[in-house]
Structure 1
Amino acid sequence: MSNPPDGKLRYRLLTGPDDDKFCKRVSEALDMGYVLYGSPAITWNGERGYCAQAVIWPGVGEED
C-alpha cells in the first residue's frame, strides 16, 4: 500500500498525556503500518507528563 489507509496523512505527530491511551494510539499507528520517526519527546507541566511521537508512512521522502 503506497498511501496510508482511511485518508490518513503520511506524517503524523501523535501527542497527549503520558498514559495508556497515548501508548495505545502509538501502538495502533504502528500496527497500521506507520514507522516511528525520531525520538519521542516528553514534557512536564508540574502535574503530569505530556508526550509527542512522530510517525511516518513507509516510503515518505524516498526517491522512486
Structure 2
Amino acid sequence: MLSDAFERQSPEIKKLLESVPVPLTRRPRAPRTLSFLRAGDVISFELSGRTTPLSCARCPAPTSSP
C-alpha cells in the first residue's frame, strides 16, 4: 500500500525518472584482481619500481577454484 505522499509526489517522481542522469564526478573504483594461488606457484610483483619474485611454499587455505 502506497502512502498519500506517493500520490502527491507522482509528477516529481515521473519527472526525475524521465530526466537525463547526472554525469559522474569521478571514475568508479575498479574491482580488485582476485588470484588463486597453489603451493609451488611463482609470482612477481612490483613495488617502488623494483620487481620481486615470490614463491608460494604452502597455502594455508587453498581454494577449490582454478
TM-score category, normalised to shorter length: under 0.3
* Greater RCO (CA < 8 Å, at least 6 residues apart): 1
* TM-score, normalised by the number of residues in structure 1: 0.24
